[in-house]
Structure formats: C-alpha cells, structure tokens
Chain A
Amino acid sequence: CATAQVVHSAGRRFIVSPVPEARLKEQ
C-alpha cells in the first residue's frame, strides 16, 4: 500500500497511508 511522507518546516512528520479498512466499510 502507498505510504507517503511530508515533513513540515517546523519539523513534524506527517505519514500518509490509506484510510483504515474498517472505516471505509462504515461509510
């Protein structure tokens, strides 16, 4: 599964991954 990473200028790392499976079925 595709995981991306964005680091903010203040240094915080944001790791982007697919929305958790269980939640997709709830929608």
Chain B
Amino acid sequence: AEDTGVRVELAEEDDGKKPSIALKLWVEDHKKLKGKYKESGAIEFTFDLEKEIPENVAQEMVESGFFHESDAKTVGKSIRDRVALIKWRRERTVSAAL
C-alpha cells in the first residue's frame, strides 16, 4: 500500500468470519496532509467489510471534524488499502482451507 502518511490497522483480532471489524486510524506524517491537522490521536471505528465504502467513512470523519475536506481522498485511500488487505488475507485463508 502507498504511504499516504495516514496509518490504518486492525483494532481487534480478525477471526475471518465476522462482517464488521474494528479498525484504528491515525496520522503518522501530517506533512502529507493538505489541510491543517489538529492532533487528535488514533481514531477507532467499526467497518462493515461487506456493505460499507471506505470513502464514505472518510467523509464521515471529515464531517466529524477530524480531517479537512481536502484530505478525504487520502483518508479514504488509506482505509481502502487496509480493507483490501483484510479481504485478501481472508480469501487466502479460505482457499488454503479448501
């Protein structure tokens, strides 16, 4: 995944089955953000792997005041990259089991 300056990680163990997973997002390099970033720490949230869209969560974070609108794309991409990795690992685990 591209280093966007925004880090997204699992906030809980992934059992590979539950549709929703807790993720944690924080800024590692605020120089990579366009908007003025007020240090807010790590933001934990739940993401539905089957139904939800990363960019929508990023927009909710902007609307909640965590990020500037100009950084919605960067935040959305960071979430998308992590979600893709989680899904890839799940598929690999299933195919290995088969």
- In chain A, residues 10-27, which have Cβ atoms closer than 8 Å to a Cβ of chain B? 10, 12-20, 23, 26-27
**Does B42 contact A12, Cβ atoms closer than 8 Å?**
no
A interface footprint on B9-28 (CB within 8 Å = 1, 0 otherwise): 10000000000000010101
Interface residues on B, range: 10 to 19
Binding site for A on B (CB under 8 A): 7, 9, 24, 26, 28, 40-46, 57, 60-61, 63-66
Q: Could you name 30 residue pairs across A and B whose Cβ atoms are closer than 8 Å?
A: A2-B41, A8-B64, A9-B63, A10-B60, A12-B46, A12-B57, A12-B60, A13-B45, A13-B46, A14-B43, A14-B45, A14-B60, A14-B61, A14-B64, A14-B66, A15-B43, A15-B44, A15-B45, A16-B44, A17-B41, A17-B42, A17-B44, A18-B42, A19-B26, A19-B42, A20-B24, A20-B42, A23-B26, A23-B28, A27-B28
Binding site for B on A (CB under 8 A): 2, 6, 8-10, 12-20, 23, 26-27
